[in-house]
Chains A and B, each alone.
Chain A
Amino acid sequence: MYDVVVVGAGVTGAFIARELSKYRLSILVIDKESDVAMGTSKANSAIVHAGYDAVPGTLKALLNIRGNKMMKRISEELDVSFKMTGSLVVCFSKDGIFELEELKIRGFKNGVEDLEIIGADRLREMEPNISPNAVVALYAPSAGIICPYELTLHAMENAVENGAELKLECELSGISYDREVFRLETTKGVIECRYLVNAAGLYSDTVAEMAGDHSFRINPRKGEYVLLDKIYGSFVNRVIFQLPTDKGKGVLVTPTVDGNLLVGPNAEDIDDKTDTSTTSRGLSEVINVARLSVPSLDTRGIITSFAGLRATGSTGDFIIGPSPVNNKLIHAAGIESPGLTAAPAIGEMVADVLKKNGLKLEDKPDYCPYIEKYTPSRKMSESQWNEAVKKDPAHGRIVCRCEKITEADIVASIRRTIGARNVDAVKRRTRAGMGRCQGGFCSPRVVEILSKELGIPFEEVTKSGGKSVFLLKKTK
């Protein structure tokens, strides 16, 4: 019997669990996938928004601002790369200045004080590659970029290190409630708890329905992206937006924390919550729209593309609060943009909601907000690296040549608190396979290392769990 079960190990569930792990509670996080951050949390724009876009008075606005202010401290505690690059909303006609003024006012109402409208000269000075058609822009110095799956993983690991439990490949199929106890039917057996938190992303409406709550719907909205080689990484210095539409913040061009250039997303409402395929039309759209901001985008620089699904809630805002059918079921649903930025603040709010609905929050004196820092071999100084090699020769064997990832880094990614169990999980933790050759050189070695570390034959190593095996059988 747990005090709290959190359904969903995305960035929302991770921060809720982390927040709750500050208190003397028995906490379990469950997720149907083979790793954390397998839904929207690994396929998004990776932006920490300044907070001018959200409508004042909404939870989106409130939690965006709070989350943004927390992010520097969080990134230090959780050893996550975070760069406050600033952002620009760029307009191609002088009329755009009215919409930018509106955003500025909105931002001010939300508590974003340092917004500035800048003209073409200053814009070009800041961003030499911006389109000559760009005439005016809104500059937000407090926007930034982060690695969303690193943030999710480290937050969840911190929660686990502080006593929370995590059960992956655990899919919820039914909820019943009797005598103040939730009874959860899952693929890993029956789980009981006193409070239930619904952070199930795209499926949070399904989870709500299992409990008899039909108060909202989640509609998947697909966004496609292309990622460019690191030689284009400093094409722009800040996150470059265009004017937002009713479907979202639009196609952006941004550097990533690792030095690539990310372009996207478009916005397409779809029906299938499992459809993360990219489309020829979507990829063209993304590139063409992005070229309005940065005309010299070279498609020869594309190294990969992907798509993510936004969990767009039917209410238009985040859905955070007790369920109308049961106040011990707390929703943290409809977490689309600015969900990533808001996540740490959502964690705090959910803890507060739980408290207001009867959960006793007793401080845990030995709670430690800091995650153990892991320094990858390539980021060490030469003398540190040499010391590391002396202690463990695996630091001297480079597996991913494109990103300079060593065997030690890969083994560490498998052995850490929430260790990688497949090739994509290794990739998200180490970057092995994210370079120019996209795993052509390193993936057989990664398969070999996983096989050895997990004690499974080569044929059982998967790309991302389930049936995604690489190899069929031995040749003879």
Chain B
Amino acid sequence: MKEVDLVVIGGGPAGMAAAVKAKEKGVQDVLILERENSLGGILNQCIHNGFGLHYFGEELTGLEYAARFIDKVHRMNIPYCLETMVLNIGSDKTVTAVNSTEGVFTIKAKSIILAMGCRERTRGALNIPGTRPSGIYTAGTAQKYVNIYGYMPGKSVVILGSGDIGLIMARRLTLEGAEVKMVCELLPYSSGLTRNIVQCLDDYNIPLKLNHTVVAVHGKERLEGVTVAEVDQNRKPIPETAEFVPCDTLLLSVGLIPENELSRDAGIELDPVTSGPVVDARMETSVEGIFACGNVAHVHDLVDNVSNESELAGESAAEYILGINVPDRSETIVVKAGNGIRYTVPQLIRKQSLSRDTVKIFFRVADVYRNVRLAARCGNNILVERKRIKVTPGEMETLELKSQALREINAGEELVIELRTDGEGH
């Protein structure tokens, strides 16, 4: 059985940033396992720009962003295996994988970083009734066909879901000559970035139908059209508003789900709201020495945040392997998603393990709110409060807390991240 100090599962932006940082912090023996035939992860099909504004201070396309990290991996001589699929992770930190040169092999790792990313929610999961013709794709799969294989999925398109991938594909397909008839969004607001609404829909006069969904699929062999309907406040379709829209392609951009099958197999505790592992402020999971970062931990909007989060995981894994700052796992503060907050990452803080001066808590709000204050509170003590003119579930928020302040909180107490509206005095 091979022994490796640090195994990084996934060679996308998360895995690469984590591996590079871990090596920078002194881990010599790092190995990245990647299932595709190149490093880069999902960025390899992201030909659009908008990446790197924060991390590099430049606006890059997905591939250019990935290339910067691939360069780092090469310059630092970090070995990686491509077309290698991890089959299983043991809670004893053994990793079993398969590829076409080594067959099935097992590695005993001192530490593992989970960076497997996420998959797309499917039509089946939405239970959309109707026929089952060809012509229905999740937006990411369509993106792969267009950007990597060089094929158009169809010529007249309806997109369900106003997430960023759907918006990006609306523009992409339009520029390649397809007619994108509409983007339907179940909720009363879009979950995509505003810049994408403007530059992908408004620029091309593609209508965005909020409070709408697809209620049926038609077509025996190839898609012939969909039935679209408005929904009420309970998100239930209003039958009188049903309208048949002829089209030959339906793109679904209805949610991303972190891929934690391997995490589950290893007995790692998952958070049912994020669908990712429960992690502490160092990105360590419930299994000592196994860390998680990037979309596998929670779905991100900006790859810049993925890089930062993954560097933290890499740093923490390095500390773990080198025996620096071994945390007392018993002194835990629970981070609670309070009023107006859907989830937080991390979900807990191990007081004694904080090696940086500050801790960033990432979170998403549960709805669109205006003129609010985002606060981190313990009991009656507000540690940090920030004013926001507008917050939306589609754009992840952060609050930065001083580690010293966190160490002063008693173990077993709750740190509540919450929304405070004007009029809430304390």
Indicate whether A and B are direct neighbours in the complex (CB within 8 Å). yes
In the bound assembly, the distance between CA atoms of A14 and B161 in angstroms comes to 44
**B98 CB-CB contact with A under 8 Å:** yes
What number of B residues sit within 8 Å (CB to CB) of A?
A: 50
Nearest residue, chain B, Cβ from A276: B131
Contact A470 B153 (CB under 8 A): yes
Structural contact, A398 and B131, CB atoms closer than 8 A: no
Query: Does B141 touch A at the CB level, under 8 Å?
Result: yes
Bound together, the chains give a CA A470 to CA B152 distance in angstroms of 9
Q: How far is the CA of A417 from the CA of B131 in the complex (A)?
A: 30
Say yes or no: is B205 at the interface (Cβ < 8 Å to chain A): no
B153 and A472 form a contact (CB under 8 A)? yes
Closest CB of chain B to A40's CB: distance in Å? 16
Q: Contact mask B108-132 → A, CB, 8 Å, 1/0?
A: 0000000000011011110101111
Please tell me if the beta carbons of B138 and A385 are within 8 angstroms of each other in the complex: no
* Chain B residues near A404 (CB-CB < 8 A): 85, 87
Residues of A contacting B: mostly: mixed
B44-87 residues with Cβ-Cβ distance < 8 A to A are: 83, 85, 87
Is B146 interfacial (CB 8 A cutoff)?
yes
**Is B104 close to A, CB under 8 A?**
yes
Report whether B149 and A396 are in contact in the complex, using a CB–CB cutoff of 8 Å.
no
A261 to B297, CA, bound (A): 28
Q: Which residues of A contact B35 (CB under 8 A)?
A: 398, 401
Check A471 against B103 for contact (C-beta < 8 Å): no
In A256-313, the 8 Å CB interface with B consists of: 274, 276-280, 282-283, 299-300, 302-306
* Cross-chain contact A386 with B103 (CB below 8 angstroms): yes
Q: Which residues of A contact B85 (CB under 8 A)?
A: 398, 401, 404
- Interface stretch (choices A52-60, A132-140, A191-199, A435-443): A435-443
Cβ distance B128 to chain A, nearest Cβ, rounded Å: 9
Asked if residues B129 and A305 are in contact (CB atoms below 8 Å), the reply is yes
B150 touches A476 (CB 8 A): yes
Q: Is A75 an interface residue (CB 8 A)?
A: no
In contact, B145 and A444 (Cβ under 8 angstroms): yes
Given contacts A441-B119, A473-B151, A475-B146, contact A468 B222 (CB under 8 A): yes
| Chain B residue at minimal CB-CB distance from A407 | B100
Produce 1/0 per residue, B238-263, CB < 8 A to A: 00000000001000000000000100
**Please, could you name 18 A-B residue pairs with CB atoms under 8 Å apart, sorted by A?**
A277-B130, A277-B218, A280-B216, A300-B125, A302-B125, A306-B132, A382-B104, A388-B103, A390-B103, A393-B100, A396-B100, A437-B120, A438-B124, A444-B144, A444-B145, A468-B134, A468-B222, A474-B151
A residues bordering B, Cβ < 8 Å?
226-227, 274, 276-280, 282-283, 299-300, 302-306, 382, 385-386, 388-390, 393-398, 401-402, 404, 436-441, 443-444, 448, 458-459, 462-476
* Given A440-B141, A474-B151, 7 other A-B residues pairs in contact with their CB atoms under 8 A: A304-B123, A395-B103, A396-B83, A436-B119, A437-B122, A463-B134, A470-B134
